[in-house]
C-alpha cells in the first residue's frame, strides 16, 4: 500500500492518488481535522500539487483478514513548484481494507498519526 501510494503521489496525478482510497474514506490532512469525499480529494491534492516527492518507510503492517493497520514514516522534502522549501514529515497510522477485487485501499489515512 505505501509504495503504491508513493508512486501515485509522485506521479502528480491526483485522480490516481484518489484510486487508492475506498469511497467514503477518511483523510486527516492535519491533526484533528478529518475530511471525506471531495474535501479529502482536495486536501490530498494540495500536498501532491507542491510537486515534491514523498518518501515512505513502512514501520509496521498488521493484518486481520481483509483489514490492515499500517504505521508508516514518511517525508516530503525538497523545493515546491513555486520555489519555496518544503519539509513535512510524520508517522502515519492508516487503516486499509482489501476489496472484492483483491486490491487494498485506504479506509482511514491519518498521515500525522498521534501528532497534535
pTM above 0.85, yes or no: yes
Per-residue pLDDT for 116 more than 80? no
Phi-psi category of residue 20: left, alpha or beta, with phi > 0 → left and psi -120 to 50 → alpha: alpha
Q: What is the pLDDT of residue 23?
A: 95
Average pLDDT of the chain to the nearest whole number: 95
Amino acid at each position: 500500500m505505501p509504495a503504491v501510494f508513493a508512486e501515485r503521489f509522485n506521479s502528480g496525478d491526483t485522480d490516481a492518488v484518489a484510486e487508492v482510497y475506498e469511497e467514503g474514506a477518511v483523510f486527516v490532512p492535519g491533526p484533528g481535522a478529518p475530511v471525506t469525499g471531495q474535501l479529502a480529494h482536495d486536501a490530498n491534492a494540495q500536498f501532491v500539487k507542491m510537486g515534491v516527492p514523498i518518501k515512505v518507510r513502512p514501520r509496521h503492517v498488521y493484518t486481520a483478514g481483509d483489514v490492515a493497520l499500517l504505521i508508516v514514516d514518511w517525508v516530503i522534502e525538497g523545493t515546491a513548484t513555486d520555489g519555496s522549501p518544503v519539509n513535512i514529515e510524520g508517522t502515519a497510522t492508516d487503516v486499509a481494507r482489501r476489496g472484492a477485487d483483491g486490491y487494498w485501499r485506504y479506509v482511514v489515512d491519518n498521515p500525522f498519526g498521534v501528532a497534535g
